[in-house]
Amino acid sequence: MRRTFSSALVLGLGLIASASHAQAVRVEKNMSLELANQIAVQSVAACAADGYAVTATVVDRAGTVRAVQRADNAGPHTLEGSRLKAFTSASAKNNTLAMMEGAQKNPGAANLVHIPGYLLLGGGLPVKAGDEVIGAVGIAGAPGGHLDDKCGQAALAKVQGLLK
């Protein structure tokens, strides 16, 4: 009994010591309004160049909307579609086209469609500063998620210099 108490005391003190070395304040990169606006504008422009009227929504690392651009003649449904794609991408830190394809091929991933707020359609891309995901862009309105994805890739390529 005494040995169990001593072991528990040592373990407890070890956990307290470990906790005291834990980082209390973290520093994280995040999406600025200026960057979010540039990504949204570039996304709409990239799709417009291909003849598609889309909406682009940019969210920060927490999935909170930072910028929205809706092209003339973009359907009203594209607002929510682009937001959900951006949220899904930021939340999963993954490309929604890849997530959709993975869910179609892997029965274990098929349940991702049941997560509230997730939309597994192409057009959601994480925005990275180095290896750190700082947000995401979601594009909706082109005739296929693969085309929304293409516009997002083009937009991110245009702002790549700002993501260092």
CA distances from 59 to 23, 54, 86, 134, 160 (A): 26, 16, 6, 9, 17
Give 105-128 pLDDT, tens digit per residue: 999 999 999 999 999 999 999 999
Give the DSSP H/E element, type plus range, for residue 89: helix 77-92
Q: Distance between CA 54 and CA 17 in Å, rounded?
A: 54
CB 89 within 8 A of CB 125: yes
Query: Is residue 134 over pLDDT 80?
Result: yes
CB 49 within 8 A of CB 143: no
| Two structure tokens written together for 93 | 């830190």
Strand-strand pairing, 55-60 and 132-140: antiparallel
Cβ neighbours of residue 29 closer than 8 Å, sequence gap 6 or more: 61, 129, 132, 134
* pLDDT band of 161, cuts 50, 70, 90: very high
Q: Which residue has the higher pLDDT, 61 or 26?
A: 61
* pLDDT band of 82, cuts 50, 70, 90: very high
Q: What is the pLDDT of residue 23?
A: 78
| Two structure tokens written together for 115 | 């997560």
Angle between helices 33-49 and 145-158 in degrees, nearest 10? 130
Least confident of 6-20, 89-103, 123-137: 6-20
| Two structure tokens written together for 4 | 């169990």
Give 24-54 pLDDT, tens digit per residue: 998 889 999 999 999 999 999 999 999 999 9
Q: How many CB atoms lie within 10 A of CB 117?
A: 10
Q: What is the pLDDT of residue 15?
A: 55
pTM for the complete prediction?
A: 0.85
Q: What is the pLDDT of residue 2?
A: 53
